[in-house]
Amino acid sequence: MSSSTINVDRSTATQKASPSGLQGDVKPKKLGLELAVVALVFATAGYMFYTALGDVPLFNPDECFYAEPAREMLETGNWITTTLNYDIRYTKPPLHYWATALSYYLFGVDEFAARFYSATCAAILVASTYCLTNKIVGMRAGLIAAAVLMSAPLYVVTGRLAINEMSLSLFTTGGLYCFYTAFREKRMSFAWLGYAMLAGGMMTKGPVGIVLPVLILGVYHLMRRNFVEAIKFYKPHWGALLAAAISLPWYVIETIATNGEYFTCFIVMENFQRFTNVVSGHKAPWWYHIAAVSGGFLPWTIFLPQAILNALRPEKELSLSTATPSRWAILDSYKNLNARQDLALFSVCLFVTTIAFYSASVSKLLSYTVCCFPALAIAVALQIDKSIEHPRAKNLLVPIIILATAFGIGIFVEPMILKIVRGAPSNIGHIVESCMTLEFGAFTAAAILIAMGRRVWGIGLVSVATLVSMSFFGLQIISAVATKQERGLPALARFAAASDDPIFTYKARMPSVPFYTKRETVFSPAQEIPIAGTDRYTGVAGQSQPPEITIFGKKVLAGETAEQSEASRTLAAMPKYERLSGETVLTEVETRPRAYILLKDNDAKDFENRTGYKKIAKLNSYALVQWIKPSDAH
């Protein structure tokens, strides 16, 4: 195509002019068909996220930090302040706990109910992503976006875990969908819904639920050169009042109820310090989230570079540049985008800003960036959908051939890789090999179909094959990992709970123990579980001596004695930095006439030849040791 030719998008040809430089609404479709397809997408997502959801035990420690406080909330009736192991825990707002407690009320307290809310949020977000893409570009692009999102490994795994990242993703990304639709169609009703969604994000994880979406919207509108118009349209002063009316009452009540401790612990420590310092050992290099997204979005990652390039260089498609282009040609081109290009730019702004935001944070976790996966799916879907219509097949054929080759090579190198991976489940090799074989066959067949001109069939084949791989082999991998890591602990915990003897944990983080015992557990200090409002704090792994820490100009922790001011004594993230050893735990155990100790089986050797201790059971990687004071033994 020559540089003087304008490539008109197929979605543009059927649209009428509309505000904001966008070229109209999509052609009306039959409501019945639309509803049927949305139902099909949601049902497929439901199968992906609900199937065998409760078949594996909770993963320590992350899932238990959400599952157990919700259980205690339902048990105690305290719906304001969250607790873990019946001690106050100032870490997150309560919306995720409330929803999980409701799930317990409906389904009973078990692993399925603990994960139900996250899985539901994941399925709703898939359907929402389809609806947005379908509305603006078309059904084919919407279905591709949904299939890509449902088969992205990190998205699927996160949606099947009892953590709050997926619910946060629904509120933040869903809220952005609302704002985008509101501005595009000039309908304030969607904007009000967007503000309500951001309030839900604030009630799920705090300020990040509002700060990040606002930042993303700002970047998008600056690039579109309509920032001032957007500010006037969104009515942020009224929107802020709506969001505050929804989210602030609980914060005020909790802050008053805790004499200000919640504000200090959560707002300062969980937000400010987590962004500027390493919290809970979550340190990683600056490129961590780039690598996490690249790996967690496979196999679709290969389409991202071209998708990003096309979104950021729309003047190449519209041929706005001339023989002597202006230095501002790229920025000028963002003012006149068709519907497809605008959605592509919005999705790129969403995921690039998200990755940059979390990369700037010192503390990093794998699941932080899962909220940008819907945008990744949209960008890739738009790229694939456009490539289907492109005169030349190479835009589709080359990535498909590369992936087919990669899967083919992976079949042969996988055994060698697993040999050097320590602690891999024994049966995971067969599962991974079967998955790669299926993908190799599907992508090879797709390459042949695309070369023959059957592009839709080729893309449909790899989409279905990847969904099958994720729903079948992916679930087997999750089960294998859970069996290796966690299977055995629930049964041992319930056995110990059958008696009235106290239960200790030893050298391992096991916050799932009170979930399965349904009573208070004497945690090992090695677990680093901060307990606010008491003098019992835990050390930081690898911390030889406490640092001096100053917050807002006030020294709250100083010196080897870890002296703390009375005002900051109960900071959940301000431990006394005592390096309490396993021997300290056993000293506490031996003050009791009888006790049970849950531990990793490889730590059971510590109890060999110790009077009063007896290893009474082993299941998978866990063991149960019983302590009977010698004077009480019969």
Phi-psi region of 319 (alpha: psi -120 to 50; beta: other; left: phi over 0): left
SS3 assignment for 615-627: EEEEECCEEEEEE
Contacts of 629 (CB under 8 A, 6+ apart): 590, 592, 593, 594, 612
* Residues in the chain, total: 634
* Cα end-to-end distance, the chain, whole Å: 92
The Cα 52–Cα 592 span in angstroms is 41
Under a CB-based contact definition with an 8 Å cutoff, are residues 89 and 514 in contact?
Answer: no
- Classify residue 255 by burial, with Cβ atoms within 10 Å: 0-12, 13-18, 19+: middle
Q: Which of 529, 521, 505 has its CA nearest to residue 603?
A: 505
The Cα 257–Cα 401 span in angstroms is 61
Q: Which of 467, 293, 465, 321 has its CA nearest to residue 379?
A: 293
The Cα 109–Cα 257 span in angstroms is 28
DSSP state letters, 428-440 = HHHHHHHHHHHHH
- Classify residue 264 by burial, with Cβ atoms within 10 Å: 0-12, 13-18, 19+: buried
Contacts of 570 (CB under 8 A, 6+ apart): 261, 265, 532, 533, 534
Phi-psi region of 559 (alpha: psi -120 to 50; beta: other; left: phi over 0): left
Under a CB-based contact definition with an 8 Å cutoff, are residues 601 and 618 in contact?
Answer: yes
Q: Is the overall model pTM greater than 0.85, yes or no?
A: no
The Cα 562–Cα 553 span in angstroms is 17
Note the pLDDT tens digit of each residue in 160-186: 999 999 999 999 999 999 999 999 999
What is the reported pLDDT for 327?
52
The Cα 492–Cα 500 span in angstroms is 15
The Cα 513–Cα 60 span in angstroms is 9
The Cα 292–Cα 216 span in angstroms is 20
Question: Which ranges of the chain have pLDDT less than 50?
Answer: 1-26, 278, 280-281, 318-324, 525-580
Tell me how far the alpha carbon of residue 39 is from its chain's centroid. Answer: 24
Q: Which of 382, 22, 23, 25 has its CA nearest to residue 226?
A: 22
Q: Which of 319, 322, 312 has its CA nearest to residue 224?
A: 312
Helices (H), 473-593: 474-485, 489-497, 513-517, 582-589
Contacts of 458 (CB under 8 A, 6+ apart): 396, 400, 445, 446, 447, 448, 449, 450
What is the reported pLDDT for 487?
83
Q: Which of 200, 233, 194, 368 has its CA nearest to residue 290?
A: 368
What is the reported pLDDT for 17?
38
Under a CB-based contact definition with an 8 Å cutoff, are residues 123 and 142 in contact?
Answer: no
Question: Is 140 strand, coil or helix?
Answer: helix
The Cα 571–Cα 592 span in angstroms is 30
Phi-psi region of 555 (alpha: psi -120 to 50; beta: other; left: phi over 0): beta
List the beta bridge partners of residue 283: 363
User: Would you call the peptide bond into 19 cis, given omega within 30 degrees of 0 as the criterion?
Assistant: no
Under a CB-based contact definition with an 8 Å cutoff, are residues 126 and 53 in contact?
Answer: no
Question: Is 511 strand, coil or helix?
Answer: coil
Task: Copy the structure tokens of residue 338.
Answer: 């068709």
Task: Copy the structure tokens of residue 226.
Answer: 């309509």
What is the reported pLDDT for 274?
61
The Cα 498–Cα 19 span in angstroms is 67
Run of H or E including 531: none
Question: Is 554 strand, coil or helix?
Answer: strand
What is the reported pLDDT for 277?
55
Q: Which of 613, 614, 619 has its CA nearest to residue 586?
A: 613
Task: Copy the structure tokens of residue 158.
Answer: 């996160």
Angle at 154 between CA 289 and CA 516, to 5 degrees: 115
Under a CB-based contact definition with an 8 Å cutoff, are residues 221 and 353 in contact?
Answer: no
